[in-house]
């Protein structure tokens, strides 16, 4: 598929992978629908796309809310009738052990990462089916293949995304509609700005740029493959894990559990230090609550 004059909708488009993907598609002459929760950032991205002489529609929308997604889709379909490429990119993680995370923490990741994808597909797939063309790109993670301590709920959301995509791909056979999952390793974005990652090293030397992943997304939009892992060499690790789980799982589990335990220890120390520095300065309990 050539992208000139095609309509590409990207969720999580206000920064990082989503923003870079919008720029790369716009360079190819595609019209872009930018979807995110932050209106101001969306408008900044739209301004950047003006130099490519393409149409850029901004839609403020929280994809975890099915009613907002339905309203957003009505706006998009009124203007364009359909989308040619749907990029489900919005997602986030909260770091911590399952015993420490709240149910709301776990649910919120699944609502955005997994159900946000479902809501978008359900609203835009019918128009793709009507015209018998289109491509869905779901941005997952290598965490879709590895269950890891500290990000178990995030892994679950990406496992679900990959499994859903595989099932849907079978359903869409001979429909003219493709679906491909892009699964990168660590990417240098604001993903790690969530407070739960405060005591963790942010990036490794092997982490990817948003631009690298965005190029994989463009490749995916023209691919017949179910999954594109970025970088491709990591596919070997996925194969090893699937083929020799009794060997690979203990190694990964021990490594990531060590990091989790270290992070929890740092947080406990930080919390204790903060408590020491917040001794009440009067006998009035309300003063202490205010300070806390």
- Please state, in angstroms and rounded to a whole number, the distance separating the CA atoms of residues 220 and 216: 6
Strand order across the beta sheet in which 56-60 lies: 56-60, 31-36, 7-11, 85-88, 134-139, 177-184, 227-230
What confidence score (pLDDT) does residue 256 get? 62
Where do the H-state alpha helices sit in 28-115?
A: 39-49, 66-80, 103-110
Report, as residue numbers or ranges, the catalytic residues.
154
Q: Work out the pLDDT band at 231, boundaries 50, 70, 90.
A: confident
Which domains can be identified in the chain, with CATH numbers? 7-235 (3.40.50.720)
Terminal CA-CA length for the chain: 57
- Please state, in angstroms and rounded to a whole number, the distance separating the CA atoms of residues 276 and 134: 59
Strand partners, 230: 184
In this predicted model, what pLDDT tens digit does every residue of 120-148 receive, in sequence order? 999 999 999 999 999 999 999 998 989 88
Strand partners, 137: 87, 180
Q: What percent of the chain has pLDDT over 70?
A: 79
What confidence score (pLDDT) does residue 264 get? 58
Higher pLDDT, 32 or 189: 32
- Please state, in angstroms and rounded to a whole number, the distance separating the CA atoms of residues 14 and 49: 12
- Please state, in angstroms and rounded to a whole number, the distance separating the CA atoms of residues 115 and 198: 27
**Arithmetic mean of pLDDT, 100-105:** 96
What confidence score (pLDDT) does residue 181 get? 98
pLDDT at 104 over 60: yes
In this predicted model, what pLDDT tens digit does every residue of 42-88 receive, in sequence order? 999 999 999 999 999 999 999 999 999 999 999 999 999 999 999 99
Q: What percent of the chain has pLDDT over 90?
A: 68
Question: Which residues fall within 8 angstroms of residue 120, CB to CB, at 6 or more apart?
Answer: 9, 11, 63, 69, 73, 86, 88
């Amino acid at each position: 598929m050539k992208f000139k004059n095609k309509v590409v909708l990207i969720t999580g488009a206000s920064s990082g992978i989503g923003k870079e993907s919008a720029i790369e598609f716009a360079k190819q002459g595609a019209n872009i629908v930018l979807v995110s929760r932050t209106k101001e950032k969306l408008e900044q991205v739209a301004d950047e796309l003006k130099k490519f002489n393409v149409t850029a529609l901004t839609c403020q929308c929280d994809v975890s809310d099915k009613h907002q997604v339905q309203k957003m889709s009505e706006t998009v379909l009124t203007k364009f009738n359909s989308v040619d490429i749907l990029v489900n990119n919005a997602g986030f993680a909260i770091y911590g052990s399952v015993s420490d995370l709240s149910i709301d923490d776990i649910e919120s990741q699944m609502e955005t990462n997994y159900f946000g994808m479902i809501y978008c597909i359900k609203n835009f797939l019918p128009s793709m089916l009507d015209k018998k063309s289109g491509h869905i790109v779901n941005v997952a993670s290598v965490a879709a293949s590895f269950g890891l301590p500290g990000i178990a709920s995030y892994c679950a959301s990406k496992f679900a995304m990959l499994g859903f995509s595989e099932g849907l791909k079978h359903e869409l056979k001979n429909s003219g509609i493709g679906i491909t999952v892009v699964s990168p390793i660590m990417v240098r974005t604001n993903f790690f700005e969530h407070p739960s990652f405060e005591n963790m090293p942010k990036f490794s030397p092997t982490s990817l740029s948003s631009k690298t992943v965005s190029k994989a997304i463009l490749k995916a939009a023209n691919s017949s493959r179910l999954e594109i892992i970025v970088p491709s060499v990591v596919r070997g690790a996925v194969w090893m894990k699937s083929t020799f789980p009794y060997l690979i799982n203990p190694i990964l589990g021990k490594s990531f559990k060590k990091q989790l335990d270290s992070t929890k220890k740092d947080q406990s120390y930080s919390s204790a230090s903060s408590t020491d520095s917040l001794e009440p300065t009067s006998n009035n309990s309300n003063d202490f609550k205010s300070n806390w």
